[in-house]
Structure 1
């Protein structure tokens, strides 16, 4: 199955766009997996091995932070209309709410000089000193800052770093036992960039803000394997209340932005699946070359893991190719669905 999608994935490796890819297609109870290519090209070639840890980058948002926040909402500890200022008093703008952060409609903007050279405390203070611009509520502008703030709100409510909360409230209950924010063995990790300042980044988070903020970053930092992400997707596709309630899963298919037309849900982006019947899917990507797609209606999903920033970032050519692979997958998966 998925011959065209697999062909597009292998071509991505064969023409040098990415070193290698691990992938999975989930169709209800059936799972098809594969891997192809290399995990490292420098300092020497290393063939890709099964179930290596990938730096998920922004998939941390939807695998982890979104679920922690929605769990807080489900238990009445937090509301979508709650103001950020009420939990983070140093943030001066009283208009921004939890919904704005979850949907990237907060309009938070500003420039932090020498950001990557700041200490964690200095970066924390600088981020809370940013301001809201003209895009507030009017435009969806993707920003890590929204999910850094959400992580800090969860920390205020539950008294633990957001990455600890993700581990205790999402990873452990789901049995995602290989997933971690602190890999014990770098050689079990697929490397990312060969950086001029950090050398070869392997087993340590690639994202610069997450590298500084460490356990207090809810926007990036999670490492996971293909098998664990299959566990996550299957949990999302099942009629269970893990990692969030069935009602919240249904709400993920709605445009949750204040203007309801910006194709963004709670953390997840929305996709239009035209076949076999018109309906929405959800998806998210990570800067390092990772991607998840979920069709909650047909109980199908795709996991795509690459290290497109190896050996050098940003590798912009990858983005259009990734999007084409997603579109091919959406087309192929639809032909497998039996309408009941």
Structure 2
């Protein structure tokens, strides 16, 4: 693997450039942490740029309002704190990120664990487990359709515009699919909000507890949770100066609270968004799913999740995986700038966590993610020169 690590230098250089574009250009992100590995070997674990740089966004100048330099907070990993890489090191200095839609992967794993134990049938109807979801019952939506985004539900609803938790859930329960379930794929946060309610009804426990007891605690993911405590605040990357018209709520600069407006409206614990984590913790999850760590699922359940068409995971998507796509790579992205890719063909993983919405959101651009995936793919391909 030494040769592979030597060839990974282009990946290191690419991520460094992503986080530190020259002044006068609009960088893709204020800062980034990248972790890549193969099997038990860490190939890259680096942090570049700033976890906190801006106090606000100035709409008039279309630029971030920078904090005094002494208040900028660097991105950090254990390596940047002078520690050795690897699962045994102290990860207490690593930058914590709002994972956004990477949360869906954890909800998926919880669902697969529940299916393994006979609590749900993947082809069972949502109405069998949560009959209060009357629209899902009327249209026969199944658990598998939620996991594969084939329920026909809209991408999202403005639940944040409703007063009170019960009114928000009432709107969700009554929302019918826009297209017939099972006929087309349409990515939707609503799928995972329904799935959350199914899992909570079946188990009698909150999703936060199910994630903790079924995934993060067994894997030693000590920096992964919903609603991070105030003690973590110095480690957490800022997200957005959230204001209308570019955002859906007026909340100001966010740090340590969930960015997604619906997850915020639902109390910070949601099936589609809300988890916070670090690159080091996500590395532990990647290894477990690749068969190199403590198992959280049976092998056949992992196969169902990670093989086409995928359950919860996106399969072979070059727009964010680059040249890792094409051999069954599985992964996901998050709106705040996060992404994760597993390549079972080479037992490798790529975790890229950035704060692309700091100080404000921009049109989606996954070119840097794809370039990082291509750099890793080429680094692990014998005889192929790096970028």
TM-score of the superposed pair, with normalisation by structure 1: 0.89
Please state if 1:13 is matched with 2:61: no
For residue 290 of structure 1, report the CA deviation from its aligned partner: 0.4
**Contact conserved, 2:323 with 2:374, CA < 8 A, in 1?**
no
From 207, 226, 229, the counterpart of 2:279: 226
* Matched residue, 1:194: 241
* Matched residue, 2:262: 209
For residue 236 of structure 1, report the CA deviation from its aligned partner: 1.2
From 295, 303, 307, the counterpart of 1:250: 303
**In terms of mean alpha carbon deviation, does 318-327 or 140-149 score higher?**
318-327
Per the alignment, in what secondary structure is the counterpart of residue 100 of structure 2? coil
Count, aligned residues? 327
* Matched residue, 2:104: 61
| Unpaired segments ≥5 residues, structure 2 | 22-26, 56-66, 78-93, 244-249
Larger Rg: 2
Alpha carbons of structure 1 residues 274 and 191: separation in structure 2 relative to 1, 3 Å = closer
| Unpaired segments ≥5 residues, structure 1 | 257-264
CA deviation profile, 1:76-114 (whole Å, cap 9, x unmatched): 111111101122223233421000000001001388567
* Matched residue, 2:126: 84
Mapped to 2, the partners of 1:288 and 1:201 lie a distance apart of 12
**Contact conserved, 1:103 with 1:266, CA < 8 A, in 2?**
yes
CA deviation profile, 1:44-68 (whole Å, cap 9, x unmatched): 2322233111000111111x21111
Alpha carbons of structure 1 residues 53 and 162: separation in structure 2 relative to 1, 3 Å = same
Runs of 4+ residues deviating >4 angstroms? 110-114, 272-278
From 74, 87, 90, the counterpart of 1:47: 74
CA deviation profile, 1:109-135 (whole Å, cap 9, x unmatched): 388567445322211111111111226
Please state if 1:132 is matched with 2:194: no
Please state if 1:27 is matched with 2:80: no
From 269, 280, 294, the counterpart of 2:328: 280
From 3, 11, 17, the counterpart of 2:9: 3
* Matched residue, 2:207: 162
Q: Where in structure 2 are the equivalents of 1:264-303 lying within 5 Å? A: 265-271=310-316, 279-303=327-351
From 12, 36, 49, the counterpart of 2:48: 36
* Matched residue, 2:88: none
* Matched residue, 2:195: 150
Mapped to 1, the partners of 2:165 and 2:48 lie a distance apart of 38
CA deviation profile, 1:234-268 (whole Å, cap 9, x unmatched): 11112566221111122234324xxxxxxxx1100
Once superposed, what is the RMSD of the aligned Cα atoms? 2.4
TM-score of the superposed pair, with normalisation by structure 2: 0.78
* Matched residue, 1:121: 166
Alpha carbons of structure 1 residues 203 and 215: separation in structure 2 relative to 1, 3 Å = closer
From 372, 379, 384, the counterpart of 1:325: 372
Per the alignment, in what secondary structure is the counterpart of residue 65 of structure 1? helix
Mapped to 2, the partners of 1:218 and 1:274 lie a distance apart of 27
Mapped to 2, the partners of 1:157 and 1:228 lie a distance apart of 28
